[in-house]
Chains A and B, each alone.
Chain A
Amino acid sequence: MSTSNEWPLWEIFIRGQHGLSHRHVGSLHAPDAEMAIKNARDVYTRRNEGVSIWAVEAHHIAASSPEEKGSLYEPSNDKVYRHPTFFDIPDEVGAM
């Protein structure tokens, strides 16, 4: 099958509740941005999952390469002081 006739791929992000951030939920095909939102509504929010939808054409997303994981992430492994784990959090604060 030729790919030139196919609809572009869109990545779908949904905000579950006000105050939370949009989360990637999956991808789908659609001819344009408007239909991508409509398709996302049908494919990903049928069970009342969201209050807001973002659709981004997949080729617009710049992704890091798995081969670079050494240089990108390992340097932080031994820097525990970057995690704020040395504080006592009062109970009243609740979940952080």
Chain B
Amino acid sequence: MSDPLFEYLCRMGDNTLVLGHRVSEWCGVAPVLEEDIALANTALDLIGQTQLWLGLAGEVEGKGRDADKLAYHRDVWDFRNVLLVEQPNGDFGRTMMRQFLFDGWHLAYLKALTASSNDQIAAIAEKSVKEVTYHFERSTDTVIGLGDGTEESHRRMQDALERLWPYVGEMFLSDDVDAAMIAQGIAPDPTALRGAYDTQLDGILAEATLIKPADNFTHKGGKTGVRHTEHLGHILTQMQWLQRAYPDATW
């Protein structure tokens, strides 16, 4: 395993990079103008956070790779994002459900991270918390609005929840990289955040009249990089095509 801190920072940066790219796919085609702009704002926030995480990762690695190099010159097996964020957008409801499930974890995790023993990490978390607080408010409102909406919107949200639920657990899995971060006081233990996440989730899903699936089976392999879903490769061909076709092009 490479330096655990580098590995860890790639996980943080790849989550925001891949989700940011996914959300940006709505640009120009969202159901209404207001949502289009809101989604683009969210995507831009996430890409901004990516620059900080991957920028720091490159610094820690010390091999002259910057955020762009890490984003555009790595292949699928080097990515360390959780599987949830690479799942396809589906309909608008599924996109918002994915956002909601991720935001709940993201916000709690970043809040804990503001107490990191690493000042640079604490500073990135501090800045991100403000943005993600808004992401979570917005995705929560939308999940409640569509879940407790029309018959059709309710059905679509329930479908989305059932489809994405098996990807929630991975965000709370802890491994050797996490253990190294916890030991140095750099990052919190993700497993410790699960209880509060579930309590909050249950309250919101009840308001949205949605039923949480009983089965807690979880797919994994994204954050360790062992086994991504087939979707990540397709994202990268779009996201990286320019750097693949014209390596190191700048403008």
Q: Mark A58-79, 1 if CB is under 8 A from B, else 0.
A: 0000000000000000000000
Q: Mark A7-27, 1 if CB is under 8 A from B, else 0.
A: 100000000000000000000
Among B32, B33, B38, contact of A38 (Cβ-Cβ < 8 Å) = B38
Nearest chain B CB to A29 CB, angstrom units:
6
Which chain B residues lie closer than 8 Å to A88 at the CB level? none
Main secondary structure of the interface of B (DSSP, over half): helix
Q: Would you call B32 and A29 a contact (CB within 8 A)?
A: yes
Whether a CB of chain A sits under 8 angstroms from the CB of B41 is: yes
Kindly specify which of B54-62, B65-73, B137-145 makes contact with the partner chain. Answer: B137-145
Which chain B residues lie closer than 8 Å to A28 at the CB level? 33-34
Q: Would you call A29 and B41 a contact (CB within 8 A)?
A: no
Q: Would you call B141 and A38 a contact (CB within 8 A)?
A: yes
CA distance A73 to B38 in the complex (A): 41
CA distance A38 to B39 in the complex (A): 12
Which chain A residues lie closer than 8 Å to B41 at the CB level? 42, 46
Count contacts on B: residues with CB < 8 A to the other chain.
11
Nearest chain A CB to B100 CB, angstrom units:
14
Nearest chain A CB to B28 CB, angstrom units:
15
Q: Would you call A39 and B34 a contact (CB within 8 A)?
A: yes
CA distance A28 to B35 in the complex (A): 11
CA distance A34 to B137 in the complex (A): 11
Q: Mark B38-64, 1 if CB is under 8 A from A, else 0.
A: 100100000000000000000000000
Which chain B residues lie closer than 8 Å to A38 at the CB level? 38, 137-138, 141
CA distance A30 to B141 in the complex (A): 12
Q: Would you call A42 and B37 a contact (CB within 8 A)?
A: yes
CA distance A46 to B38 in the complex (A): 10
- Which residues 131-185 of B have a CB within 8 angstroms of A? 134, 137-138, 141, 145
Q: Would you call B141 and A43 a contact (CB within 8 A)?
A: no
Which chain B residues lie closer than 8 Å to A31 at the CB level? 145
Per CB-CB distance, the 4 closest pairs between chain A and chain B, nearest first, are A39-B34, A42-B38, A42-B37, A42-B41
Residues of B within 8 A of A (CB): 32-34, 37-38, 41, 134, 137-138, 141, 145
Q: List 5 A-B contacts (CB under 8 A).
A: A29-B33, A35-B145, A38-B137, A38-B138, A42-B34
For the A-B complex with A28-B34, A39-B38, A43-B33 known, give 7 more contacts whose Cβ atoms are closer than 8 Å: A7-B32, A28-B33, A29-B32, A30-B34, A31-B145, A35-B145, A42-B34
